[in-house]
Each structure stands twice: as C-alpha cells, then as structure tokens.
Amino acid sequence: MLSVPKMREILDSYGLNSSEVLCEQIRSYIELLLKWNKRISLTSVLDPEEIVKYHFAESFLATKAVDALSGRLADVGSGAGFPGLALKIYLPGLQVSLIEANSKKCVFLAEVIRSLRLEGVAVVHTRFEGIEDNFDIVSSRALGSIPKLLVWAQSVTLPSAHALLWLGPKGIREASASPRWTWNQPYAIPATTGRFILSGRPNHQIIYTRSTWNKFT
C-alpha cells in the first residue's frame, strides 16, 4: 500500500490539502476499493499511486474549479464514490447524497461510509430522474446522458448553485449546447490530455416544464 508521505507528495504536487488525517482516510478507502473490486467492477485503475491521482486528486480539484464549495451536493452516478464521496472526505462540511442505480455499488459506498465513520452523507439507490429536492451542487463524472442530466439538475438547483462535470472535449461541447446553464472556462486537469472539470450555474430565465423534461425520459 502507498505510504502516507508518498500520498502527501502526490497531493502537494496538485496544490491540494495533504493532511495526515486525509491521507489515512484515503488509504483506508483504497484498501476497501481494491478488496471490493475483486468481486464487483468498481475501477480499472489498480495501482494505488494512480488511484490517488486519477480518482482522489482529480475529484479534489473541484475546489480549484469553483471557490468555496459548500451546502448540499448531489453526486449523480457515484459508482465507486468519485467525485462525490471523495469530496466529502476532502470537505467534511458538505452534505452529500450519492445517487447510484447499481445496488452492489450502493452496498460498497455504504461500507466506505461506515468504515470511515462519515456523517452527513447518504447513499440514494435510485436513478436521478426520480429525485425531487434542492441542492447547492450537482456533480457527475462520466455519466452518459449529459442533456438529460442538465435538464434535471436545473430543476433541483437555485440560481446560486453549481454544476461540476468531469468531461472530455466532446462532453464539453455537448454540455455547452444547453441553454439552461452558463458555463465557466473549463478547468484543465493537470498532467492530463483532454480531461477537464466544467463548472457552471443554472440559467433560470429558461423555465423548466414537465413537457420539456418528458423529451428526455
């Protein structure tokens, strides 16, 4: 397993917090991830150093793309917990809903939450389309239907809210085509080619209606 000093070195290289407490949480998380990955498909990245870079650091970089993230976060398609659960351990004050349709992945997420003794985080076993709530942040990484997500996200956020999407160039073009969101300049993830974090705010001058939503369901 990766040592804490090496983990801190990696996080420092991204300009991220690298406290010992955080690194111990990451180490425990990685141990669970690799153990469970033998039974269910959670990640194709198996080297602990690469897991820290690809899963954890790239999730934490949301704090570089958007200042002062706080409030209620809905993480759509959480999978193995990235970015939503990773952001919870990086920003403990966040109230996080991990929305995941796969029951086995939900069990894994619940095990990480129990093992790390995290509070203020819930696993929601459902598809995001059925959720009616209010969130300050909606995040997603590698979700297939971007237009569908953005229509739903506008319906559950206030004008001050943020969307955070981990995308490649094609995904950025697709998201940018939505009139429901006003986007910031994409944040290029360091040491990668063609991977970005796209952040934006909802445009509530475009009114959400059920007939509009039905186009995507």
Q: Is residue 33 part of a domain?
A: no
110 belongs to a structural domain: yes
- Asked if residue 143 has pLDDT above 90, the reply is no
What HEC string does the chain produce? Answer: CCCHHHHHHHHHHCCCCCCHHHHHHHHHHHHHHHHHHCCCCCCCCCCHHHHHHHHHHHHHCHHHHCCCCCCEEEEECCCCCCCHHHHHHHCCCCEEEEEECCHHHHHHHHHHHHHHCCCCEEEEECCHHHCCCCEEEEEEECCCCHHHHHHHHHHCEEEEEEEEEEECHHHHHHHHCCCCEEECCCEECCCCCCCEEEEEEECCCCCCCHHHHHCCC
pTM attached to this predicted model:
0.92
Q: Is the pLDDT assigned to residue 217 strictly greater than 50?
A: no
The token pair that represents 166 in the structure block: 């981990």
Report the CATH number at residue 144.
Answer: 3.40.50.150
Residue 29 falls inside a structural domain: no
Name the burial class of residue 131, with classes exposed (0-12), middle (13-18) and buried (19+) by CB atoms within 10 angstroms of its CB. Answer: middle
Examine the pLDDT at 64 and tell me if it is beyond 90.
yes
Residue 209: the pLDDT is: 43
Task: Report pLDDT for 144.
Answer: 77
Least confident of 30-39, 53-62, 79-88, 208-217: 208-217
Q: Which band of pLDDT confidence, cut at 50, 70 and 90, is reported for residue 206?
A: low
pLDDT digits (tens, 9 = 90+) for 162-190: 999 999 999 999 999 999 999 999 999 99
Kindly report the average pLDDT of the chain as a whole number.
93
Domains held by the chain: number = 1
Task: Give the range of the structural domain holding residue 104, as residue numbers without chain letter.
Answer: 65-214
Note whether residue 57 is domain-resident.
Answer: no
Q: Is residue 121 part of a domain?
A: yes
- Whether residue 206 is contained in a domain is answered as yes
Residue 175: predicted pLDDT: 95
pLDDT value at 210 more than 90: no
In a domain, 20, yes or no: no
In a domain, 76, yes or no: yes
